[in-house]
Amino acid sequence: MIDEQYVYRFQQNEWTPDELGVDIILTSTFDDENLELWFADREVTVGTEYGASAIIPCDTPIYNDDPQSLRVETVHNYASNLANVIPQYRDQNIEPIPLVKGESPYERDICYEVFDSHDIDKVAYYGAQYFLYGYRFPALLERLQRIAIEYEPNDIIVIGLQSENLLPRLPPVVSGAAGQRWRRVTDVGSEPTAVAVQQYEQWATRVRSALSIGQTPLEAYFPVRGWT
């Protein structure tokens, strides 16, 4: 998973998805101040030109300390943008993997309505903020469990958590983990492409293994009706 900045760097070095032998997910999850310059049409153009397989689209900052009325309005705007652009991504054979946004179940349900109307079964959740000011993994874990129960997606990609020690504690529906660790475990730019790809694959294998073993079932956290 890379953002527009890395797309340009990869293009300058002629590191295409085919050259790297990987599927690329383009993401709009970057610094909030830069999001003002990031539009859906630009996402489609960048993703199509580079050959991205999927996209985390239309990221919109929503802050917990904002008034609820402002949060609801922001989520509505985000959901409206999603509804408009999801068909555009699909027309270009780019899979949209939308972010679940909202602090309350009501706010998140605004997203779920759009997801349902477009048959979205894979979603993403941005979790880096849970580690910016201390260790808040339990809160992230609870939020992911809530999303799994509320929407029941087939897959959740968590962004901002790639710890091989913590991933096994996530619910089984979490099937992907994205973040910046790949930059620290590979020598992209200083080593030949084949070497960097091999370094990435060795690390990614450990992450995939962490995701596939020991994940905690939902009933361990919530008394969900129908789960026995």
The model's pLDDT over 155-187, given as tens digits with 9 standing for 90+, comes to: 999 998 888 889 899 999 998 888 766 666 665
Q: CB-hemisphere CA count at 13 Å for 209?
A: 8
Instruction: Name the pLDDT band for 31 (thresholds 50, 70, 90).
Output: low
Instruction: Name the pLDDT band for 109 (thresholds 50, 70, 90).
Output: very high
Highest mean pLDDT among 40-49, 87-96, 183-192: 87-96
Mean pLDDT (the chain, rounded): 82
Over residues 111-151, the pLDDT tens digits come to 999 999 999 999 999 998 899 888 899 999 999 999 999 99
Q: What number of H helices and E strands is found in the chain?
A: 9, 6
Q: CB-hemisphere CA count at 13 Å for 201?
A: 10
Q: Give the pLDDT score at 208.
A: 77
Over residues 185-226, the pLDDT tens digits come to 665 656 666 777 777 677 677 777 777 765 554 444 444 433
163 contact partners, CB below 8 Å, separation of at least 6: none
Determine how many CB atoms are found less than 10 A away from the CB of residue 129. 13
Over residues 53-77, the pLDDT tens digits come to 999 988 888 888 999 999 999 999 9
